Structure 1
Amino acid sequence: MKFVVQKEVLIKSLKKVYRATSNKIANFSFDKIFLHVQNSFLNLTYLDSEVTIVTKVKLVYSDQDGSIVVSIRKFYEICSNAQNGSEICFVFDEKKLTILYERSKFSILIFRESEFPKLINWTSQVDFRISQIELRKLILSTKVSIGSHDTRYYLNGILLQNNENYIRAVSTDGHRLSVSQTYVKFSNYEKFSIILSKRGVVECLRLLENSDNLLRVSIGKKDFKMNMDDFSFCVKLVNGNFPNYQDIFLKTNKKVVVLDRIQFKNMCQRAMILLNDKNQSACFVFESHLAKITTKNFNHGEYEETIKVQYQDSIIKICLNVKYVLDVLNIIQCERIKIEMIDSISYVRIQGMSNQLSFYVIMPVRI
C-alpha cells in the first residue's frame, strides 16, 4: 500500500490527535494511532480510556485501501519535521511503514491491528446542531469554576442541560458558580442533563474554532460526541448528580450596584499586589455612590481605594476572594456590570449589563 499527502494538510489534522495524547504518552498502551486509507482519504484515529478522536485528511495519491497501527509519537515527530510545502510519501508492507520526503527516509515498526482498542458503537439519545464558536463561548464562560481534583467528582466538570430552545452550562467548585446559556434550535426536543468531564472540556476547547460552521452534537447514556466534516470527538461522561444550584436564586430583596468593569478590574488588580496565595481576600464596602476595597497583609502592608458607582441603598460590607472576582471580570466583556447582594454573609452575583445569558456567583469569605 502506498499513499501521498501534503505536509501542511496532514499536520493540521495530526495535531488535533497528538495534543490529546500528550498527557497519556507515558503509557505505552496509548502510544498508538490507527491509520486507515479509504476512497483517497486518510483517517487518523486515537483512542484511550476517556476520549476518541478521528480526523480525516485528503490524500494526493493512494494506490489501494488499507490500514495500519503505528506509534503516534514517532509518526508525529517524523512528519512534522518535513519542510513546509513538501509531499510525504508512505509505503507500507507487512512489517514496517516507510516514510519518504525530500532526501529523508524513515522506517518504523508497526503494531498488529488487534493491539489497537476497538471502537464501541453506541446509540445517541439527543442530537442537535450548534456553531463551533457558540459552543466554545459556552464552555469558556463557565470553565473557570470547575472543581480541581475534588473528591466530589461530579464537580470536576461542566453541567450541560437544555431548557426549551436553550442550552445551559453550569460549573461550581463549592466556592463560586458560573452559569451561561445559548440559543439552540432543536429539531426533536428531548430534555437532557449531563456532566462533561474536565478532560472533555480541555479537548473541546482545543478542537473548537472561532467559526460559525455548524457541528453536530450527539449525547448518549455515557458519551458526548461532536461531529464535523473533518473530525469527530467522543468523550465519556461523568456519572453523578450535579448539585441543585437553582435553590440559591430563590432569595429576594437584592441590593444592586452598577459600575464600570475596567475601573473595578483595575482596582482589584491593584489589591492583589499585597496579597499572596494563602490570603487572597479583600473587604468590599458599598455605600451611597461609592465602592471601597481594602486589603491587609501583615508582612507587606495595606491597600485602600474608592471608586464611584451607581448605588443608593444601605451600607453593605462583604469579604470576597479577589482572584475569583478577577476571574469573572476577565470573562465578562461588557463595559458595565452589575453586582447583586443580599447581605454580608450571602452570595454575590455578578453579571454584564448587556449580557443576560451569563452570570457568576461568588460566596463570601468569613474572616
Structure 2
Amino acid sequence: MKLTIERAALLRALGHVQSAVERRNTIPILSNVLLSAERDRLIFSATDLDMEIVDEAAAQVDQPGQITAPAHTLYEIVRKLPEGADVSLSFTGEDPRLTVQAGRSRFNLPVLPAGDFPVMSSEGLSGAITIDVTDLIRLVDKTRFAISAEETRYYLNGLYLHTVVEDGTQKLRAVATDGSRLALADMPAPEGAAGLPGVIVPRKTVGEARRLLEDAGENVELQISPQKVRFAFNGAALTSKVIDGNFPDYSRVIPKDNTRSVQVDAKLFAQAIDRVATISAEKSRSVRLAFEPGKVVLTVRNMEAGQAVEELEIDYDGDAFELSFNARFLLDITDQISGDTAELRFGGPNDPALVLDPADGFVQYILMPLRV
C-alpha cells in the first residue's frame, strides 16, 4: 500500500473513527484502525465490536492495499503535523511497519494484518430513511441527558428511538429516562419510517452519532433492524448494535391530571436554582420549592453548609403548595427550554411534575419529586 493524502482530510477522517477505539483493549486488533486504499480514496474503519465507524477521504493512491495501525497514535501524529502538509503512507510488506512521512518527519508504526480486523455486518437493516440533520440533532440534544448510567438497569442505558401515531399523525420519537426523570422529543416521521422497529440506541453510540452529525451536511440516512442501527452521511457511517431489552412503557408515567400550572422565566428560574443549590448536600442536591400566588420561594437547608433562600416572581394564582426536587435534574431540564418561558404542571405532593416548553410543543419532561 502506498498513497499520499492531505493532512486536513486525513485528520478529519481519523478524528471521526478513532473515538470508537477504547483506550484499553484486551484484543490488540481493536486498538487499530483499518486503512483500505483503493483507486482515489482511503477508507478508515474502527470498531469496539459493539459499534463501527467508517469514513473515507480523497487520496492519491499509487498502490492499493490494506493494513491496520494504532488508531490513537496515528491520530496524534497527524494532529501534530504542520497544517497544509501532504502525508505519505506506505506499507510494503518487506518492513512490518507502516511508514508515515510528511516533510522531514518520518514515523514507523507497528501493524497487524487487515485480515484479522473484525467487520460489522449490515445484514437485516431496513431501507434507508432520510432525516434532516437539524431535526435529528434536536431529538438527541433534547433527550440524551436523561439516559441512565446505572448498569444494572441496562435497558435504560440508551435512547429509545421509535415511531408512534398520535392524533392521526405519525411521529419519530426519542425517549430517555433514568427512573427519576424522563425526556421525550418528537418530530414528524420521515417518509418510509412506518413499520420501523423500536430500538434502544446505546449511550456511547448516541454520543458518537451526535459528534459526527456536526459534519453531516443537510441530511442523514437512518437504517434500523431489531439488532442494529446505522447512521450514514457524507461518506461516513456509524453502525451499532442496539440494547437487547424492553424499554418500559413510559406513557404510564406521563401525568394526565396535573392541574396546577406555573409559568416561570426559564433563565431566571435556572439561575435561582443554581445559586441556592451551591450549599445543597452533595448526595441529594435537594431544593425545596414553595409555590404561592405570584411567587415561588426556593430553599436549601444543609446542616453543615447553612441555608439559602431566594424568591422569584412567577405566573401562578392557585393554592399554595411545596415540593422538593433534585437541583441538578431541574437544571438539566431548564437547559433544554428553547423559549423564554417554561411551564411547570403539578399534581399531588408525590406525583411527577410535567415540564413543557411553550416554544416547542414537541417535547415533554417528567421529573419525580424527592421525598424529604
Q: TM-score range by the shorter chain?
A: over 0.9
Deviation at residue 108 of structure 1 after TM alignment: 2.5
Q: Report the Cα offset of residue 245 of structure 1.
A: 1.0
Shift of 1:352: 1.3
Aligned to 2:80: 81
Change beyond 3 A, Cα 1:70–1:183: same
SS of residue in 1 equivalent to 2:20: helix
- The alignment covers a number of residue pairs equal to 366
Find the counterpart in structure 2 of residue 302 from structure 1: 307
SS at match of 1:356: strand
Q: Deviations over 1:298-339 (max 9, x none)?
A: 112212222221112222211111111111111212101100
Partner of 1:116: 117
Rounded Cα–Cα distance in structure 2 between residues aligned with 1:258 and 1:23: 47
Q: Which amino acid in 2 is paired with 1:69?
A: T
Question: What pairs up with 1:267-282 in 2 under 5 angstroms?
Answer: 267-282=272-287
Are residues 196 and 24 of structure 1, via their aligned partners in 2, closer, same or farther at CA, if it must alter by over 3 Å? farther
Distance 1:121 1:168, change over 3 A: closer
2:10 equivalent in structure 1? 10
Q: Does 1:290 align with 2:295?
A: yes
Whether contact under 8 Å (2:43, 2:57) holds in the other structure is yes
Matched, 1:107 2:112: no
Identity value in percent: 23
Residue identity opposite 1:179 in structure 2: L
Letter in 2 for 1:54: V
Query: How much has 1:72 moved relative to structure 2?
Result: 1.8
- Post-superposition Cα deviations, 1:218-267, rounded to whole Å, max 9, x if no partner, equal 00121110111220001110011111110123632521001111111121
Q: Distance in 2 between matches of 1:15 and 1:253?
A: 47
- Cα distance, 1:186 vs. partner? 1.6
Question: Higher mean Cα deviation, 70-79 or 168-177?
Answer: 70-79
Q: Which moved more, 1:17-26 or 1:211-220?
A: 17-26
Match of 1:318 among 307, 319, 323: 323
1:44 is aligned to 2:49: no
1:77 Cα shift? Answer: 2.9
Look up the equivalent residue of 1:140 and give its one-letter code. Answer: D
Identify the residue that residue 90 of structure 1 maps to in structure 2. Answer: 89
Q: Structure 1 residues 319 and 108, CA, compared in 2 at 3 Å: closer, same or farther? A: closer
- Select 1:229's aligned residue among 215, 234, 239: 234
Q: Any residues of structure 2 matched to 1:172-321 within 5 Å, and which?
A: 172-187=177-192, 189-209=194-214, 213-249=218-254, 251-252=256-257, 254-321=259-326
Deviation at 1:56, TM superposition (A): 0.5
Task: Tell me the distance in 2 between the aligned counterparts of 1:118 and 1:280.
Answer: 45
Residues 1:127 and 2:124 aligned together: no
Q: Distance in 2 between matches of 1:26 and 1:18?
A: 17
SS at 1:143 equivalent: helix
TM-score, length basis structure 1: 0.94
* Cα distance, 1:121–1:355 mapped onto 2, change above 3 Å: closer
Structure 1 residue runs of 5 or longer lacking an equivalent are: none
Q: Secondary structure at the match of 1:142?
A: helix
| AA of the residue aligned to 1:86 | A
Match of 1:64? 63
Distance change in 2, residues 1:119/1:247 (3 Å): closer
Flag structure 2 segments of 5+ consecutive residues without an equivalent: none
Following the alignment from structure 1 to structure 2, what is the Cα–Cα distance between the partners of residues 110 and 314?
Answer: 71
- Does structure 1 retain, via aligned residues, the 8 Å contact 2:98–2:110? yes
Q: The residue matched to 1:80 in structure 2 has which SS?
A: helix
Moved more, 144-153 or 100-109: 100-109
Q: TM-score, normalised by structure 2?
A: 0.93
**Which has the larger displacement, 21-30 or 220-229?**
21-30
Question: Which stretches of structure 1, 4 residues or longer, exceed 3 Å deviation after superposition?
Answer: 22-27
Q: 1:144 — aligned with what? A: 145
Partner Cα distance (1:210, 1:313) in 2: 48
Q: Decide which moves more: 304-313 or 68-77.
A: 68-77
